[in-house]
Amino acid sequence: MATRAFALSCFRSSSSSDDHRRIDLSPRPHYPSMPKYPKGVSPPEDLGGSERKKVLFSVTGMTCSACAGSVEKAIKRLPGIHDAAADVLNNRAQVFFYPSFVAEDKILEAIEDAGFEASLIEEDLNEKSSLVCRLRIKGMTCTSCSSTVESVLQGVHGVQGAQVALATEEAEIRYDPKLVGVHKLLEAVDDTGFEAILISTGEDLNKIHLKLEGICTDHAMRMVEKSLEALPGVDDISINPTFDKLSISYKPDQTGPRHFIEVIESMGPGCYKATIFSEGGGKEPVRHEEIMQYYRSFCWSLVFTIPVFLTSMVFMYIPVLRHVLDTKIVNMLTVGELLRWILSTPVQFIIGWRFYTGAYKSIRHGSANMDVLIALGTNAAYFYSVYSVLRAATSEDFMAMDFFETSSMLISFILLGKYLEVLAKGKTSDAIAKLMDLAPDTAILLTFDGEGNLMHEEEIDSRLIQRNDIIKVMPGGKVASDGFVIWGQSHVNESMITGEARPVAKRKGDSVIGGTVNQNGVLHVQATRVGSESALSQIVRLVESAQMAKAPIQKFADRISKFFVPLVILLSFSTWLAWFLVGKFNGYPKLWIPASMDSFQLALQFGISVMVIACPCALGLATPTAVMVGTGVGASQGVLIKGGQALESAHKVNCIVFDKTGTLTIGKPVVVSTRLLKNMVLRDFYQLVAAAEVNSEHPLAKAIVEYAKKFRVEENCVWPEARDFTSVTGHGVKAVVRNKEIIVGNKSLMIESNILVPSHAEEILMEAENLAQTGILVSMDGEVIGVIAISDPLKVGAQDVISILKSMKVKSILVTGDNWGTANSIAKEVGIETVIAEAKPEQKAEKVKELQMSGLTVAMVGDGINDSPALVAADVGMAIGAGTDIAIEAADIVLMRSNLEDVITAIDLSKKTFSRIRLNYIWAIGYNIIGIPIAAGVLFPSTGFRLPPWIAGAAMAASSVSVVCCSLLLKNYRRPKKLETFQCRGIKVE
């Protein structure tokens, strides 16, 4: 919630224009200027006493930040709109408006006219009315299955959006808890024929599950519940007596899990006990169980299939064994045929039962998946063989020809393929598993008395850490929670979170991130963000959401999957019919028919081969597996990519718009030089200046005060007293220090104060401006005595990044709100030719729109605060922000290390990932285009080559495995060699 509020505040702060501007309607969304009041109305009193109202709309159909921009633009065109913000993650739009000038239904119409479905949410806006639920879906085999489940979930009343990912076998559902419950969602999935397991709900964000021991009566349970309900900050309590499980929702700023355990154990000393409930239902155990299920099924199928294979294809060439197998039992029924029938039946109906249930579930909902093809193919082979055997047993002259080895070997090879596929798919989500493993299991809790003296240390479960706890971090240990250092000095390796390889120095007041490693020295850390609020948890959630999101190119596979299986069944039947009719009417020489077959059996084999060689799985896995691996690799490189949409757009980028402050520069002004115009000690000069500036909140004033601290003799020395302090907005400050009138500010302030600026000072100011520095004049008793040059230094390697982008044929543009002189100087220093200066936030977004309309694919790189309108408008928004700022809603990609070189990494990774997706599709489509005709027998007339059904089944199993393995090769991604030899040039500050 904090990050969402932060994002919304960013949107509000960007709206400063009070006039209506002409909005240019175009296919590209942008972030227009936002009028405070309706046209022709400026002061609040002219609104006729109309109170500003807040309303919330549910908006379905938004898929990316560009969609959110379109919704906002449509709303802000209406008169009477004060503010509007669309949240693409929650599928909502929040609007502040004046009811006297615009009605809610007009806003609703505007959203719908923009191409989205909208409805008014009638509720208290302060209450949470949207939760995200994650389910594990078992039994999905191809995109047809995932599409079926997704459409069913989206049809449930109260569901605002649902995404089902085949690769992760999970569903992410955003729903209104007032309209639908989790049990209803589970029922909806179960009705489709698939098994649903609850992973988490939005309510779990601040929820703890405790295991109760020693509490066995209803009365004791009620006493525990009432005792906990009395605690401040406890929202809800639920008890599951079956598992002795207690679930508590709470406000982490008021209470925490240790308080709950203390209350429970204080009720019955030595009798009652509470511990963290071990769910035991994580992703890894479930994945491992699925792998073992396929492994066991494959092994059991081999037990029966190998004898079937030997009796039909090997023993027939050994005279003694062939004589035994050809021994007749009843009429023409032989020992070998009966043996193969008995051995193949368990494979068909027990081991292969999963394919029957999968086919039934699919057909019941009007779709067809891979299980349908397998069931049809193996049944055709099995039941024709049964017919052949039964006819031989009842006839004295019919020679049976069975295909029992075809059905049993088909099932065995498909199970082997599924086993290898699940094994490979498990490795695509290694990034999340590694991130989750970063959190330490235990932490050392420190307890202090009222005077700040240490009372005792205690090792606790890290999940029991509460906000404001003091945690001790030993050298080599992991930081257990986000927080800030209150004692000690050390270096912390943050590479596992931010991707930054160099250890970061930490001292009192510095922030630390949970999961990072303390290298030397002991630290005492006060926890500020615990549990789901931590940076690590946010990163995990972001990567999980990214892996769930579908790339636009995946729609191609989804469209094909609707018609793929029915088309394959039609082709299979047509193949059988064509070969059968041609053989019936002697359309080919009898020599073509193998000695052990007739024309019907030959046609049947061609038809079955076509049915089992087609593989819809490969198409369905082509995009999501590559996106999963790509986003995981990005997270390990310090680049958080918010899903397939961002990946697909980033590889097309040919123009990048850079903000200046905090993006190209470090974002923190520092004093770089001081020029005195009067003979005096520099320490005395800075004492006077710092005394005047210490009361100012301006960043330049803080830079001067920070620099002045270097001249202190004592650490705790205070500045001289400043009287009659006056801050002149946008110009500087005035004060009386030691009976001297001190003025610190720009040239305009000096002229207004009737102070003559000497020509020498003018030259220094011009020189500073040419060096992209800000010149600050200092006067004492009406005379200019010095010039302070302040600069926001360039980030290391900024020039190299721009140079590399030029070599990649990517155009770079600087758009900043700073003055033209500074902007031109910075641009010249880094090598950017196109500069837009003195631009307001909405003007930045309009510039992005202009570039898009000229045919460029634009990425915006900014700090995610006043750049949020441009980040929304751009095709790809890249936010500079480390660690705890990873949830900036406006951006598509977050560069956690705040390094410009990661812009190149993001673009290069997206290109590599998208090329892998293309390769997957080429393989998946090419395999089917080439494999199906070969299975249908197009090579048979000219070469005599035909593809037996069991080999076709093996090829089908191998195709989906090959696609997953192709995606897994992305794990070997390395940054461009140009970045590996990156030469960082430092900055020397005087």
Known catalytic residues are: 659
By the 8 A CB rule, do 155 and 145 touch?
no
Residue type for position 899: N
Q: What distance in Å separates the CA atoms of residue 730 and residue 747, rounded to the nearest whole number? A: 11
User: Residues near 326 by Cβ (< 8 Å), separated by ≥ 6?
Assistant: 334, 335, 336
Handedness of CA 582, 587, 593, 597 (dihedral sign): positive
Residue type for position 489: Q
Q: What kind and span of H or E run contains 506? A: strand 504-506
Using DSSP's 3-state secondary structure scheme, residue 774 falls into: strand
User: Residues near 781 by Cβ (< 8 Å), separated by ≥ 6?
Assistant: 740, 741
Work out the widest C-alpha separation in the chain, in whole angstroms.
Answer: 128
Burial annotation 850-860 (CB, 10 A radius, 16+ → b, else e): ebbeeebbbbb
User: Residues near 73 by Cβ (< 8 Å), separated by ≥ 6?
Assistant: 23, 29, 30, 31, 32, 114
Report the candidate in 177, 188, 192, 419 with the shortest Cα–Cα distance to residue 289.
419
Q: What distance in Å separates the CA atoms of residue 964 and residue 423, rounded to the nearest whole number? A: 10
Question: Is residue 848 exposed (0-12), middle (13-18) or buried (19+ Cβ within 10 Å)?
Answer: buried
Q: How far is CA 945 from CA 309, 614, 930, 938, 942, in A?
A: 21, 19, 14, 9, 8
Helices (H), 937-948: 940-943
Q: Which residues pair with 862 in a beta bridge?
A: 879
Q: How far is CA 306 from CA 193, 292, 415, in A?
A: 33, 21, 14
Q: Which residues pair with 787 in a beta bridge?
A: 675, 777
Q: What kind and span of H or E run contains 84? A: strand 81-87
The helix/strand count (H/E) of the chain reads as 32, 36
By the 8 A CB rule, do 706 and 736 touch?
no
Residue type for position 3: T
DSSP-assigned letter for residue 148: H
